[in-house]
Structure 1
Amino acid sequence: MSQTPLHLESPLLESRALSLAAQRAVWLKMEALQPPGSFKIRGIGHACQIHAQRGAKRFVSSSGGNAGMAVAYAGRVLDIPVTVVVPQTTTARAQELLRLEDADVIVHGASWQEANELALSLLGPDDAFLHPFDDPLLWAGHASMVDEVARAGVVPDAVVLSVGGGGLLSGVAEGMARNGWSNVPIIAVETTGAASLHAAMQAGQTVALDAITSIAGSLGAKRVCEQAFQWTQQRPVQSVLVSDASALDACERFLTDHRVLVEPACGASLALAYEANAALAPYRNVLFIVCGGATATVAQIRQWRQAA
């Protein structure tokens, strides 16, 4: 089986529009241009290749969003069947995209937790379960984006990224460590209403949020993974919160500036540049991870804006 990575080496761009808005040099790692629409294919593609080597005959996922899309894409490329269990809240658009990748889609439960329980119950001895964010194989794959930036000769003063379950933060921190960037701060952005990392950093341990009230569904993990929290104890990580309205505004402005549509979970981090957030003040050269969003549509973003 081919060991060619399933992800692309994504473009690294210096953004004139965001640099002017933020009043400092802004670099973009364009993970939104990955084939399944987000950075998730780096880690999930890596994990799927490992599981395939170990003899997996089916991949099982419980995500109707970016992680599920990445599993479905990886399965199609590797010619391994994929079953994705999604909650009833999953949009028709997301279900359609999963089926376009030949995934078997099962709709079950009112929440991700219920869908996940069913997915786990389906696992047979030859199946591999792909967790959306809490898996060392995923973090190792996500770290590759930092390797690419380092090879390009760009060493930022800070890295800005969005946090949901913490898989992206864990992978980027791992990549930064192995490239000698352990002292470069990570600015970890969440929307108010989906801020599980912020809550963990305040409490000194991972804690479960009572509910997710943000429209940024991809940031909607009630508890951040333990590895992400541990990185906040081992290296500089600054937590920043933005509103849903700021995230949505950034999505629309980014579409105008770079002709790429991202979801609010990604817009949250881009909002720091567009609003010249004070968290950027100490830094002159900032790298933003444009994590993407497989299921975002202009109509949905504008519908959310009316409600925000």
Structure 2
Amino acid sequence: MFEDITKAYFRIRKHIKHLPLYYSNNFSERLGGDVYFKLENLQRTGSFKIRGALNCILKHEDKCRNGVIAASAGNHAQGVAFSAKSMGIRAVIVMPEFTPMVKVNSTKGHGAEVILYGESFEDAYKHAVEISEKEGLFFVHPFDDTDVIAGQGSVAYEVLNENPDIDQIVVPVGGGGLVSGVAEYVKGFDSSIKVIGVQASEAAGMVSSLSEGRVVSLSTSSTFAEGIAVKKVGELTLKHCQNCVDELVTVTESEIALGVLEFMERSKLVVEGAGAAPLAAVLAEKIDVKNKTTVLVVSGGNIDVTTINRVINRGMTATGRFMTVSIILRDVPGALTSLSTVISGLQANIHEIVHVRNDMETPVGLSKVNISLETRGYEHIDHIMETLSGIYEVKRLV
């Protein structure tokens, strides 16, 4: 497949952005190794997915006269829509109903007809196949297709032709198309370079499939990193991972949220949950980068604005920089002012106060206050809880 990936790169290169490796001084110094980012979040359509879609459609242009169809949670949808628009053909995209509006609107912006259907990618996929057969549209699979995999592998072509002296490359894994293409090219280029995949622990279909030696269908895939929220990996991608991927690790929702937050704060980059998974694994010390040259593939940046706020709060909570407590106060004038004074003395910043005066569980003459605070770490949180507990009835909520 090494040659197929090379051909794919030259087939699609005039349609995509070539994004040089970005050396992160901040994370390199902090982690004790050379850390590079492959910033596919800055790619056209906001993710790597355009590569596989383009390669598949351009290679099979004669089969696409009636148009193309795809099922996707968002990034593949935009890749197919962009490719179809570039070729002047019809594109129909079936997306799960939970898909963030930023991805729905972006897909429509590329001229595609969008159908929202089902609660999961699998529901959307089945519906798309039905429409494909009924209307004679060319179906572009998001990951389990040789030409799509070859297109995604062009990421590795660019990385290694820019810097062949790397020790390992870390890739987010959903259905497995990206890691399959990257791994096939890397191992064909230099088998000593490690390929490490990262999955969300709530959607670890490839981990389960590798463990059992067959494609396993998960009952749920409930991760906010919707770009890798796939219940069932591909037959092809499983074989590629069995043959070429050195290691697979998982990261929790809080670890992914911290990764998104760290990209924003440290590198000034907007990255979606799937794209932040490799950094999340490194920060959680699940992948060793010390004294090594590591490339993290930042697969996409299409994160909904409403999701960003929740992710930031979760990331801050995970690092002890945010907490929410419930405090019982006497229901008298000045009680809330006194509480604010105590918190000010503890050098915590009040983020939000909700004063609950009609709670049926709170005795008459008392009131409940739920208060969210910005803090400076876990020791600061412990100090705040100890001080408040000496004055009020306190319960930590977050």
TM-score, normalising length from structure 1? 0.91
Q: Which residue of 1 is the match for residue 341 of structure 2?
A: none
Q: Which residue of 1 is the match for residue 310 of structure 2?
A: 303
Q: Which residue of 1 is the match for residue 378 of structure 2?
A: none
SS of alignment partner, residue 44 of structure 2: coil
Indicate whether 1:195 and 2:204 are aligned.
Answer: yes
Q: What is the RMSD of the two structures over their aligned residues, measured on CA atoms?
A: 2.2
* Identity value in percent: 28
Indicate whether 1:156 and 2:166 are aligned.
Answer: yes
Structure 1 CA distance for aligned equivalents of residues 245 and 96 of structure 2: 36
How far off its partner does 1:281 sit? 5.1
Indicate the larger mover: 40-49 or 233-242. 233-242
Where do residues 275-290 of structure 1 align in structure 2 (5 Å cutoff)?
Answer: 275=284, 277-280=285-288, 284-290=292-298
Contact 1:156/1:286 (<8 A) preserved: yes
How far off its partner does 1:53 sit? 4.1
Structure 1 CA distance for aligned equivalents of residues 30 and 203 of structure 2: 26
How far off its partner does 1:160 sit? 0.6
Structure 1 CA distance for aligned equivalents of residues 281 and 314 of structure 2: 22
Q: In structure 2, do the counterparts of structure 1 residues 108 and 49 end up closer, same or farther at CA, with 3 Å as the change threshold?
A: same
How far off its partner does 1:136 sit? 0.4
Q: In structure 2, do the counterparts of structure 1 residues 202 and 26 end up closer, same or farther at CA, with 3 Å as the change threshold?
A: same
Where do residues 34-53 of structure 1 align in structure 2 (5 Å cutoff)?
Answer: 34-53=43-62
Structure 2 CA distance for aligned equivalents of residues 279 and 250 of structure 1: 14
How far off its partner does 1:161 sit? 0.8
Structure 2 CA distance for aligned equivalents of residues 257 and 18 of structure 1: 8
Letter in 1 for 2:171: L
Q: In structure 2, do the counterparts of structure 1 residues 236 and 283 end up closer, same or farther at CA, with 3 Å as the change threshold?
A: farther
Which of 165, 172, 182 does residue 172 from structure 1 map onto?
A: 182
Q: In structure 2, do the counterparts of structure 1 residues 213 and 141 end up closer, same or farther at CA, with 3 Å as the change threshold?
A: same
Which aligned runs of 4 or more in structure 1 are off by greater than 6 angstroms? none
Which of 52, 57, 77 does residue 86 from structure 2 map onto?
A: 77
How far off its partner does 1:164 sit? 0.4
Letter in 2 for 1:133: F
Contact 1:10/1:31 (<8 A) preserved: yes
Indicate the larger mover: 158-167 or 92-101. 92-101
Q: Structure 1, residues 54-93: CA drift from partner, whole Å, max 9, x if none?
A: 4533010111410001111111111111111122222333
Contact 2:143/2:175 (<8 A) preserved: yes
TM-score, normalising length from structure 2? 0.71
Q: Structure 1, residues 102-147: CA drift from partner, whole Å, max 9, x if none?
A: 1111122233222222211222575211111111001111121222
Q: Which residue of 2 is the match for residue 127 of structure 1?
A: 137
Q: In structure 2, do the counterparts of structure 1 residues 299 and 126 end up closer, same or farther at CA, with 3 Å as the change threshold?
A: closer
Q: Which residue of 2 is the match for residue 252 of structure 1?
A: 261
Structure 1 CA distance for aligned equivalents of residues 221 and 118 of structure 2: 17
Where do residues 1-308 of structure 1 align in structure 2 (5 Å cutoff)?
Answer: 5=13, 6-123=15-132, 126-179=136-189, 181-275=190-284, 277-280=285-288, 284-294=292-302, 296-304=303-311, 306=313
Structure 1 CA distance for aligned equivalents of residues 313 and 182 of structure 2: 34
SS of alignment partner, residue 50 of structure 2: helix
Contact 1:67/1:132 (<8 A) preserved: yes
Letter in 1 for 2:164: V
* Higher strand proportion: 2
Contact 2:49/2:79 (<8 A) preserved: yes
Structure 2 CA distance for aligned equivalents of residues 32 and 23 of structure 1: 25
SS of alignment partner, residue 240 of structure 1: strand
SS of alignment partner, residue 200 of structure 1: helix
Q: Structure 1, residues 15-37: CA drift from partner, whole Å, max 9, x if none?
A: 11121232211111111111100
SS of alignment partner, residue 250 of structure 1: helix
Contact 1:183/1:235 (<8 A) preserved: no
Contact 1:261/1:297 (<8 A) preserved: no
How far off its partner does 1:162 sit? 0.6
